[in-house]
Amino acid sequence: MASSESLVIVFFFLLQLIVTTGPPLFFSKALAITMAPPPPENVTFGNRRTSSAVFAFGDSILDTGNNDHIATLIKSNFPPYGRDFPGRIPTGRFSDGRLISDFIVENLGIKHFLPPYLDPSLQAEDLTMGVCFASASSGYDPKTYVYQSVLSVPDQLNLFRQYVGKLRSLVGEKRSNDVVKNGLYVISSGNNDVLLTSLFHSTRKSSSEMATYAAFLAGQASAFLRQLYGLGARKIVHLSALTTGCSPAFRTLLGGVQRQCSDECNELAVMFNEKLGHEIQRLNDDVSLPDLSVQFVDVYTPLLDIIRRPENYGFVVTKEGCCGTGTIEFGFLCNRLSPSTCADTSKYIFWNGLHPTEKAYKILTSVIMKDIKKLLY
């Protein structure tokens, strides 16, 4: 069996090859999505009025296709991505179907999909109900997003500023202020920082150094939340880092011969989550930020429970993804030429080497919605 170091070298050789020669021929452009008709303006949870717009920021857990419209290799707008999406369309979502961001807007009764802000076919009504600014492979550490040429956190904030300007010209200042102030803001970031640091630096860093890095990421998250507040956000949900060390690719790269979960990766994720929770509490207690309410949502523990007790959730395969061999493929390595892609995605927790399936995302969203209800009621 090839060593973890060899696999890493092979992967990044392939990445460099694509950088210098262009993407493989199996890449194809995603078809346009036909959006569902807009729901009634007053969206309710029980008898209470809730947010009628959702805005997503961060990484591939929420990115519904922004990377399709920027100059990056981090794309998923080709088969077999999207094979369980309505119409079997590869949309730029890093999964077989819908993501957490889609399920949230559906659960709130707003619409069925959260469109990417950079989609040129975006309609006026989409702007009033919220959009996605997230970018796959982004993170809080500048080195993370610069290395992969994706939308940085500052880039996403700038796009939100641009969005507010467009919305104001479309519906007027009063209505736009209402949409922004009463919107629900969902964030997933830090996963890629954890992954890359675990892959390249964990063996050279002490526990105290890893804790310092986790604190740095949490500090970056706090600064981002303050900036978002300054732009009008008041109700914010920040997801924890996922159990990334148990993803198929990191089992292969860092899990040894038995392909166990990577302790280094999971430990850093736990450190980040703990420090992020503390930072969020400080923000909620800050009297200089009136009306701000940030909810920290633990998705690390629910995903770990799914992995440890798959039979309770209707899953069968835990260590491999559906796409290709299921041991390493993610990003462009998962493509229509990938051998042995599974026939039944519903048995798999992971779609590819890093990302959960639509079914797993739907289960995680049921957990997230409990915290969203606390925030909105």
Dihedral of the CA atoms 70, 72, 68, 222 (nearest 10)? -70
Q: How far apart are CA 348 and CA 319, in angstroms?
A: 9
pLDDT of res. 172: 95
Q: How far apart are CA 202 and CA 317, in angstroms?
A: 28
Per DSSP, the three-state class of 98 is coil
Q: pLDDT-derived band of residue 189, with 50, 70 and 90 as boundaries?
A: very high
pLDDT of res. 41: 44
Helical (H) or strand (E) element with 366: helix 358-376
pLDDT of res. 207: 84
pLDDT of res. 177: 95
pLDDT of res. 87: 96
pTM: 0.88
Task: Assess whether pLDDT exceeds 90 at residue 148.
Answer: no
Q: Where are the alpha helices (DSSP H) in 29-99?
A: none
pLDDT of res. 206: 80
Share of the chain residues as helix, strand and coil, in percent rounded to the nearest 5: 50, 10, 45
Task: Assess whether pLDDT exceeds 50 at residue 31.
Answer: no
Q: pLDDT-derived band of residue 151, with 50, 70 and 90 as boundaries?
A: very high
Q: Tell me the pLDDT of the chain averaged across its residues.
A: 88
- State the Cα angle at 312 between 310 and 318, rounded to 5°: 5
What is the mean pLDDT of the segment spanning 91-117?
Answer: 97
β-bridge pairing 48-49 and 44-45? antiparallel
Per DSSP, the three-state class of 296 is strand
Q: How far apart are CA 10 and CA 179, in angstroms?
A: 47
pLDDT of res. 203: 55
Beta-bridged to residue 188, according to DSSP, are: 58
Task: Assess whether pLDDT exceeds 80 at residue 201.
Answer: no
Residue labelled with tokens 């961060």: 58
Q: Which residue has the higher pLDDT, 212 or 17?
A: 212
pLDDT of res. 15: 43
Which residue from 299, 323, 169, 189 is spatially nearest to 242, judged by alpha carbons?
A: 299
What is the mean pLDDT of the segment spanning 145-150?
Answer: 85
Task: Assess whether pLDDT exceeds 90 at residue 120.
Answer: yes
Q: List Cβ<8 Å contacts ≥24 apart for 161-165.
A: 161/231, 163/117, 163/127, 163/131, 163/133, 164/231, 164/232
Task: Assess whether pLDDT exceeds 80 at residue 28.
Answer: no
Contact 329, 338 (CB under 8 A): yes
Q: pLDDT-derived band of residue 330, with 50, 70 and 90 as boundaries?
A: confident
What is the mean pLDDT of the segment spanning 84-104?
Answer: 97
Task: Assess whether pLDDT exceeds 90 at residue 34.
Answer: no
Phi, psi of 13 (to 5 degrees): -65, -45
Helical (H) or strand (E) element with 214: helix 207-230
Which one of 3.40.50.720, 3.40.50.1110, 3.40.50.150, 3.40.50.2000 gives the CATH number of domain 43-376?
3.40.50.1110
Q: How far apart are CA 58 and CA 230, in angstroms?
A: 18
